Structure 1
């Protein structure tokens, strides 16, 4: 099912996500619906917070990024090998960045901030630990766009949006533009 996505400046996007204690049928359905929603909106990442589910759950699929990450533990496989040829769907539950280094500026967009992009500086190499959709612990090292996407989505779990990295002037202009669109 395609879920409605909260749009900036909705205050619910600022809610800190709660730790997932049990991965059950409800969690599995949320993950499935999040992937479906992300694909329907042509996104590459989606945090549960964006669909008004304030749990530490993130889904990501950065196409053709097989060389951008390296699984350190064998326990993470979200799809069949055939599907992994073009897409690399990843589910992160209770994710934590363990290491990060380097800096890279990258133009980011967000499904919760439609029709707006801005340059954000983030680490260009990260190591993240999480549970997959089966509740198995995995560790992943990511670089490039995948690393940027993971950091972007994990920010959502803390109530942080990529626009928070912008100058006050750019943020003010975005807010004014958004309010005009909302008023119609």
Structure 2
């Protein structure tokens, strides 16, 4: 089970590396990594488990965040009135995106960042993505809202990019042209 001490923090060099593509079939270690990433994000949304193990809640976790430079991440998102999204993405990519942007009005956070970073992070409002599941089966999804934002955040981790790299340091809360604000709550 991944615990907070297994998650590397900003400043660690793996977070600024472009992660390596993964080949199939996955090794036993890679399959375990897939399961562990998904298990963490599911467990971290359970208050009792968080308290017992000292976990910080998260909706996504990428392999580089546990010091594995591989193109793998997990997402687990439950929103009221919507079908839950729970997945592991191997070798994910965005194949198309909207011109329109969006951003979380509350800003973004990250399990690898132990400080609050204020500012709007511009993201594509709608994306079409392709990835493989851990068994090697390709899938394609159209995402919008929180799932689209989270997918882009985790994909950035695979490319050595941190969420705050997108924030304008001179004007962190400046209006993002043609963007739809997304309020998570």
TM-score (norm 1): 0.76
Question: Structure 1 residues 59 and 24, CA, compared in 2 at 3 Å: closer, same or farther?
Answer: same
C-alpha deviation, 1:27, in angstroms: 1.4
3-state SS, counterpart of residue 8 of structure 1: coil
C-alpha deviation, 1:154, in angstroms: 0.2
3-state SS, counterpart of residue 105 of structure 1: strand
**1:91-130 equivalence runs, <5 A:** 91-101=88-98, 102-106=100-104, 107-117=107-117, 118-130=119-131
Q: Which residue of 2 aligns with 1:20?
A: 22
Task: Measure, in 1, the Cα distance between the counterparts of 2:152 and 2:39.
Answer: 21
Task: Measure, in 2, the Cα distance between the counterparts of 1:12 and 1:49.
Answer: 6
User: CA offsets, 1:134-173, max 9 Å, x none?
Assistant: 11000000000000000000000000000111234689xx
Q: Which residue of 1 aligns with 2:166?
A: 165
Task: Measure, in 2, the Cα distance between the counterparts of 1:42 and 1:170.
Answer: 28
Question: Structure 1 residues 46 and 32, CA, compared in 2 at 3 Å: closer, same or farther?
Answer: same
**1:16-95 equivalence runs, <5 A:** 16-22=18-24, 23-38=26-41, 39-40=43-44, 41-64=56-79, 67=82, 87-95=84-92
Q: Does 1:8 align with 2:23?
A: no
Question: Structure 1 residues 124 and 66, CA, compared in 2 at 3 Å: closer, same or farther?
Answer: farther
Question: Structure 1 residues 152 and 35, CA, compared in 2 at 3 Å: closer, same or farther?
Answer: same
Task: Measure, in 2, the Cα distance between the counterparts of 1:150 and 1:104.
Answer: 13
